[in-house]
Structure 1
């Protein structure tokens, strides 16, 4: 039971419970009878950027305005729903659960659908794990990696929610966050308004209780999150995928050869600064950027500077 709860709790960590340039193209890609929904922004002739969200999150965590602004930098920007999220297929995986390798292959199929051989891969939280797998195990399809709020090792998070706090290895999630997230499990939101209020509270916490937190933005995103799809419980499946991939994840960073930018927040309650530093030490061709006021959310007050750093990094290497 404790192990089961740890899977659920960890997802609270990783997702929070849950014009040429303005042209948007939507597609469904099929892989092994799984249909994946994606949208693209910008000109197909520009370099491709594939956005990978956190565990359990829909593609819309990468907001429309974020994608459009990034496309205005002369990129072809793609966001997509993971299996079991958004408008993609629900997968019956009780017999053979999928792994991060499977999710990485899904990402490759998205690129293939748009006839893209190589792309720049952006990954947030679990999306950063997927990005690392792409860079390590499928390098022929990767130009560069941008890793945001992620780690070389997710095991400390699982251990923390099982009550196993260790004094060695990478730091666990913030103890206050573990306590707070555990309490969230007891919430029994039923109505749309209740769910949206929980959504706002969760992202406020993941955003480090920033004084610039945009409540109206997250209210609108929460409504969209819960009215866009009926698939609202992918968390355990994504957690199983992460937990089954610890071994390959630990090996991945040292195998990455693509230029890599690591964005780490000093206020991140999930992955402390040591996680970003560890990534930086293990990925040979990497650059670490630490923001003192950044936490664990792709929030609107950070859109412009995230976009600027992505653009600066890519154009400095290509």
Structure 2
């Protein structure tokens, strides 16, 4: 799909007549990490599910490693463009990790396009909040000549002490992701180099209903980050995924899906 001057790979599940749920993943992650089975399960509950490859991931437009030609505000406009391309007037937006900032930008600067917001494993960015765990920082700094192994290592670190890490499933997705990505070096680096030109407001300026979802064992943004997002938005609610890390592992899908369906029912 041609969107905002670039090509983005977009996939949908379910009936376009159902309420739309736009899934936006975080840094370095293509749409594959919103697992197909998860998308199908949400669609089966009466939602039109949309996932897509952000710039520099998967099959979408790629830039030279270390030279992203875009900023956070461009990623926000990309999301608007995806909705335009699909003829979706308003969507229930789900932003995960780094893309919590994209979801925030949509909610603040494009409120007419947002029916609700769900922030998954994200943060307000308050420097007083607990830092990333030393174990995560050590594990995520390990590098291998194999990009598949690098992805597996990072996602193992994201899981932290969670018992839910499924290495076989992660490896299968990593192999698929590397094989289909235009430039894996760009995918693994460029999102960390973009300018975070923030929206014209903050969490307190959101008017759409907000659900916050956070793993109890998140080593990247400890649970206090999710609590801070909830507290920053009047009327927001928090779903804690027990024993989950910086991810939405398969064993907690039923809880996550139930909460998302309830949140997007209005």
Corresponding residue of 1:181: 140
Q: CA deviation at 1:294?
A: 1.7
- Structure 1 stretches of 5 or more lacking a match? 1-27, 157-168
What is the alpha-carbon distance in structure 2 between the residues aligned to residue 212 and residue 234 of structure 1? 25
**Paired residues, number:** 265
1:283 paired to 2:242 = no
Deviations along 1:97-143, one digit per CA (max 9) or x if unpaired, are 42211101000000000001100001110121111111111111000
Would you say 1:227 and 2:200 are equivalent positions? Answer: no
Alignment of 1:5-154 (within 5 A): 28-32=1-5, 34-91=6-63, 97-153=69-125
Output the CA distance in 2 between the equivalents of 1:270 and 1:250. Answer: 26
Deviation for aligned residue 1:250: 9.6
Of 201, 207, 217, 2:153 maps to 201
Give the Cα separation in 2 of the matches to 1:262 and 1:75: 19
* Counterpart-to-counterpart distance in 1, 2:69 and 2:60: 17
Q: Report the Cα distance in structure 1 between the residues aligned to 2:207 and 2:12, rounded to whole angstroms.
A: 27
The 8 Å contact of residues 144 and 260 in structure 1, kept in 2 or not, is answered as yes
Question: What's the C-alpha RMSD, in Å, of the aligned pairs?
Answer: 2.1
* Structure-2 change in CA distance of 1:304 and 1:95 (3 Å): closer
Give the alignment partner of residue 272 of structure 1, picking from 216, 219, 222.
222
1:262 to 212, 216, 221: 212
Q: What's the counterpart of residue 236 of structure 1?
A: 189
| Distance in 1 of aligned mates of 2:156 and 2:233 | 31
Q: Distance in 2 between matches of 1:76 and 1:311?
A: 11
Q: Distance between the aligned counterparts of 1:177 and 1:208, measured in 2?
A: 7
1:94 deviation in Å?
7.8
Structure of higher CA gyration radius:
1
Matched with 1:7 is: none
Do the aligned partners of residues 96 and 281 (structure 1) sit closer, same or farther apart at CA in structure 2, a change above 3 Å counting?
same
Q: TM-score, normalised to structure 1's length?
A: 0.78
TM-score (normalised: structure 2)? 0.92
Write the distance in 2 (CA, Å) between the matches of 1:278 and 1:59: 27
Asked whether the equivalents of residues 66 and 189 of structure 2 are also in contact (C-alpha less than 8 Å), the reply is no
Contact residue 149 and residue 263 of structure 1 kept, 8 A = yes
